[in-house]
């Protein structure tokens, strides 16, 4: 019999278009949210006819978290595809299932997960780290019509912090599945209308897509500063490393501005302790945003100076007696860090 303490949930990101990459995710935890490593983790992709399209081994970025990149062939047929995850924990074998659709008319978002964007997004997370680790205590869930799945206010739960689920004020240790991506809890058995479900969890305010948009827009702003450039986060025109600190600071400014706007509304205010707590947080965010803005402006304005050392030629005219004129040139060499 499989270990009832082991729970897993699968998710997907990116686009599913022929010639591009789909990112498939799996999180494995104990019932109380502690991550668990698995062995023999395999991914199988089949089409609507049940024919195997691809098999492979996923990568493991962190404990209990697995990522598989499906490089979709350019001639891949449109349609629905089944994803099967198979893995072992404590000598028991588990299966998780997903379904994705490959189509020509989708919006491209695979740029979000290229290595350079990943690195920039991780750096941006450090600038706004508290917004990406927000605790929520004993929030009451909203039931679905079938009273099996219960939904909470905020998605994107942090797995490593652990989650506590309560049913009628009693901590639950079995019989549930936690979806960290969506912020949902599914019970193995149907609850009654009199049951109350609460949770302690820790979540990220911004999604990967939102952070990537902040970074992409910040780089677009940086490109408009003289001299005009066309840098991006991939390809031959990738933004030079010396400019990324400025871009990340500008992205942090936009993220904080977004968070400050959210604090004008009732539901986000509750995370900060109500109206008064939200007002205090707003004031602190304003100061932090101003500091990042000042640093961003200095870095952007220095873009025109270029790298050092460099050579500057200064031409100084000199005049002789009437009837003749000559010039000489003085070369000034300067260097810096």
CATH number of the domain where residue 81 is located? 2.60.40.1930
Tell me, yes or no, whether 15 lies in a domain. Answer: yes
User: What are the phi and psi torsion angles at 148 (to 5°)?
Assistant: -105, -40
Looking at residue 113, what is its pLDDT? 63
Give the Cα separation of 190 and 121 in Å (integer). 40
What pLDDT, on a 0 to 100 scale, did the predictor assign at position 314? Answer: 57
172 token code pair:
């639950």
Q: How many domains does the chain have?
A: 2
The residue out of 151, 186, 203 marking a domain boundary is 203
Q: Please count the residues of the chain.
A: 337
Q: Is residue 26 one of the residues assigned to a domain? A: yes
Chosen domain end from 147, 175, 203: 203
> Domain span at residue 186?
134-203
Question: What is the pLDDT, as a whole number, of residue 154?
Answer: 92
Distance CA(294)–CA(300), nearest Å, equals 10
In degrees, to the nearest 5, what angle opens at C-alpha 296 toward C-alphas 290 and 300? 150
Residues 95 and 162 in one domain: no
Average pLDDT per run of 10 along the chain, which is 337 residues long?
Answer: 61 70 83 79 91 92 86 88 90 83 63 75 89 91 92 85 87 84 90 94 89 93 92 84 92 95 88 87 90 92 74 57 50 43
């Amino acid at each position: 019999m499989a270990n009832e303490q082991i729970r897993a949930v699968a998710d997907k990101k990116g686009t599913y278009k022929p010639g591009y990459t789909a990112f498939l995710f799996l999180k494995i935890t104990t019932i109380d949210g502690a991550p668990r490593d698995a062995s023999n983790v395999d991914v199988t992709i089949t089409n609507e006819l049940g024919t195997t399209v691809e098999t492979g081994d996923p990568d493991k970025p962190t404990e209990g978290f697995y990522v598989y990149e499906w490089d979709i062939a350019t001639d891949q047929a449109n349609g629905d595809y089944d994803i099967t995850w198979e893995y072992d924990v404590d000598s028991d074998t588990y299966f998780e299932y997903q379904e994705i659709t490959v189509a020509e008319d989708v919006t491209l978002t695979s740029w979000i997960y290229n290595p350079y964007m990943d690195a920039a997004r991780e750096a941006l997370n450090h600038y706004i780290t508290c917004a990406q680790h927000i605790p929520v205590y004993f929030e009451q869930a909203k039931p679905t019509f079938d009273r099996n799945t219960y939904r909470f206010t905020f998605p994107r739960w942090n797995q490593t912090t652990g989650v506590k689920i309560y049913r009628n004020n009693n901590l639950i240790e079995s019989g549930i599945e936690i979806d960290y991506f969506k912020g949902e809890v599914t019970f193995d058995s149907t609850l009654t209308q009199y049951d109350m479900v609460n949770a302690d969890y820790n979540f990220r305010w911004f999604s990967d897509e939102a952070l990537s948009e902040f970074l992409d827009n910040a780089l677009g702003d940086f490109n408009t500063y003289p001299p005009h450039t066309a840098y991006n986060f991939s390809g031959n025109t990738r933004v030079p490393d010396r400019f990324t600190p400025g871009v990340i600071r500008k992205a942090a400014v936009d993220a904080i501005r977004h968070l400050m706007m959210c604090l004008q509304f009732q539901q986000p205010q509750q995370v900060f302790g109500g109206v008064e707590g939200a007002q205090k947080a707003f004031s602190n965010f304003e100061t932090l945003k101003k500091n990042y803005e000042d640093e961003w402006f200095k870095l952007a304005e220095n873009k025109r100076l270029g790298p050092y050392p460099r050579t500057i030629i200064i031409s100084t005219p000199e005049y002789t007696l009437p009837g003749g004129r000559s010039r000489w040139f003085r070369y000034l060499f300067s260097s810096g860090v």
